[in-house]
Chains A and B, each alone.
Chain A
Amino acid sequence: MDIELGYYLALSALIFGLGAIGFLVRRNVLVQLMSIELMLNSVNLMLVAFNRFLPDNHAGQLFAFFVIAVAAAEAAVGLAIVISMFRLKKTVHSDRADILRH
Chain B
Amino acid sequence: MSNAGIGLFFLFGLLAVLSALGTISMHSPIRAAMSLLLHIVSLSGLFLLLHAHVLAALQVLVYAGAVVVLFVFVIMMIGPASPEPPVTRGMLVKTVSVAVMLLLTALLAFSLMPVQKAAIALGNCTDAEGPECDQFGGVLAFSKSLYAGGVVPFELISVLLTVAIIGAIAVARGRTAAESEALARKLKAAEQARLAQEARERALAAEVSAHGGH
Direct A–B contact in the complex, CB atoms closer than 8 angstroms = yes
Partner-B contacts on A (CB < 8 A): 1-22, 24-28, 30-31, 33-35, 37-38, 41, 44-45, 48-49, 51-53, 55, 57-59, 61-62, 64-66, 68-77, 79-84, 86-87, 91-93, 95
- Interface residue range, chain B: 35 or more
Q: A81 is contacted by which of B116, B141, B153, B171 (Cβ under 8 Å)?
A: B171
Would A75 and B70 be within 8 Å (CB), given that A51-B52, A66-B153 are in contact?
Answer: yes
* Contact across chains for A37 and B142 when beta carbons are under 8 A apart: no
Would A65 and B118 be within 8 Å (CB), given that A17-B108, A26-B24, A92-B81 are in contact?
Answer: no
Which A residues are in CB contact (< 8 Å) with B17?
A: 11, 14-15, 18
* Contact across chains for A91 and B82 when beta carbons are under 8 A apart: yes
Partner-A contacts on B (CB < 8 A): 1, 5-6, 9, 13, 16-17, 20-21, 23-26, 29, 32-33, 36, 39-40, 43, 46-47, 50-52, 54-55, 58-59, 62-63, 66-67, 70-71, 74-75, 77-78, 81-82, 84-85, 87, 89-90, 94, 97-98, 101-102, 104-106, 108-110, 112-120, 122, 136-137, 141-142, 145-146, 149-150, 153, 157, 160-161, 163-165, 167-169, 171-172, 174
A68–B87 CA distance with the chains assembled, in angstroms = 33
Which B residues are in CB contact (< 8 Å) with A41?
A: 39-40, 43, 63
A65–B52 CA distance with the chains assembled, in angstroms = 11
* Contact across chains for A7 and B78 when beta carbons are under 8 A apart: no
Besides A15-B16, A34-B36, 12 new A-B residue pairs in contact (Cβ under 8 A), listed by A number: A4-B116, A5-B116, A10-B112, A22-B25, A30-B74, A34-B32, A38-B39, A45-B47, A68-B58, A72-B161, A80-B171, A82-B78
Which A residues are in CB contact (< 8 Å) with B78?
A: 30, 82-83, 86, 92
Would A28 and B29 be within 8 Å (CB), given that A35-B23, A65-B146 are in contact?
Answer: yes
If over half of B's interface residues share one DSSP class (helix, strand or loop), that class is named, otherwise mixed; here it is: helix
A1–B119 CA distance with the chains assembled, in angstroms = 12
Q: Which of A3, A12, A84 has the most chain B CB within a 10 Å cutoff?
A: A3
Once A and B bind, how many residue pairs between them come within 8 Å at the CB atom? 245
* Contact across chains for A62 and B43 when beta carbons are under 8 A apart: no
* Contact across chains for B168 and A9 when beta carbons are under 8 A apart: no
Would A31 and B32 be within 8 Å (CB), given that A13-B112, A91-B82 are in contact?
Answer: yes
A4–B136 CA distance with the chains assembled, in angstroms = 18
A44–B13 CA distance with the chains assembled, in angstroms = 14
* Contact across chains for B116 and A13 when beta carbons are under 8 A apart: no
Would A76 and B164 be within 8 Å (CB), given that A11-B13, A30-B75, A65-B58 are in contact?
Answer: yes
Which B residues are in CB contact (< 8 Å) with A21?
A: 24, 98, 101-102, 105
